[in-house]
Amino acid sequence: METASELARALDGTLFAGKLRHFVEIDSTNLQAMREAAAGAEHGTVYIADAQSAGRGRGAHTWHSAPGDGLYCSLLLRPQPAIAPASAMWISLATGLAVATAVESVTGLRADIRWPNDLLLGEKKFSGILAELSAEGERVRHAVIGIGININHANFPPELQTLATSLRMASGKNFPRVVILAALLRAMQAEIENLFAANNAAQAHAEILQRLRQQSTWIEGKRVHVDAAGGYTGVTAGLNAQGFLQVQTAADLRTVLSGGVRAEN
């Protein structure tokens, strides 16, 4: 699959069909999606850039966005029926699973998921997800789900070398970005159908938790440092019913509401 028309065919019948917005270079696909969402852009619009000059990461981080090597995209969702901001955690978790599914289907590589949604090969990260919300009280007006995947990078700047990898570095092969994008959007379509079309949200959430337990080595029994509340160390003890990670410290069982998690030896 190399052309826009092949991509369009792959998206036939999905909520993303006919809603691709491509930019050669942009500050950030998340920012563009937020700007266009405020101006009324449709549910399911996809923003893709070949390069980002100000790619955004979680926390105060930036996202290294080398021209042409990675997939930099953002999906605009207008959840119906309306969801509360706290429920957006499920979209975030489901997106991590969608990236893992798409990557495995195209490359055969099985990703680990570091809660909530960093995707790793071995100890190194190749994909990150940044979900940004616009909410009105207890109702999400729209959500922008930004996804960065390192695909054909042959190397990274020195400060990222111990932390980052790409599908190419892990497999020795190059992959067309458009093939990964098509697989990702199809996997996202399935996740969104499960989450929003399900009559039984509790059942959909339980399935996500179950799949995460299978896909991630970080959910149970991993010694971690949590970069929140002054920083603390403990052993992961599953996810609570809202999808938040629990960590058993020497003193108590804590719930990680925000902050990064990293392995602690």
Q: Residue numbers of the site for ligand BTN (CB under 6 A)?
A: 28-30, 52, 55-58, 61, 63, 72-74, 118, 128-130, 146-148
**Shortest separation between residue 11's beta carbon and ligand BTN, angstroms:** 18
**Closest-CB residue for ligand BTN?**
128
DSSP 142-197: EEEEEEEEE-S-S---GGGTTTB--HHHHHS----HHHHHHHHHHHHHHHHIIIII
Q: How far is CA 86 from the centre of its chain?
A: 17
Write down the least CB distance from residue 235 to ligand BTN, Å: 23
Give the pair of three-digit tokens for residue 10.
């792959």
| Closer to ligand BTN by Cβ: residue 99 or 140 | 99
Q: How far is the CB of 140 from ligand BTN (least distance, A)?
A: 18
C-alpha torsion 149→155→157→160, nearest 10: 60
* Residue closer to ligand BTN (CB basis): 179 or 237: 179
Compute the least distance from the CB of residue 66 to ligand BTN, in Å: 11
Instruction: Specify the residue, 57 or 238, whose C-beta has the smaller distance to ligand BTN.
Output: 57
Least distance from C-beta 126 to ligand BTN, angstroms? 10
CA distances from 67 to 22, 71, 131, 171 (A): 14, 10, 22, 20
The nearer residue to ligand BTN, 27 or 207, going by C-beta atoms, is 27
Nearest to 240 by CA among 89, 114, 132: 89
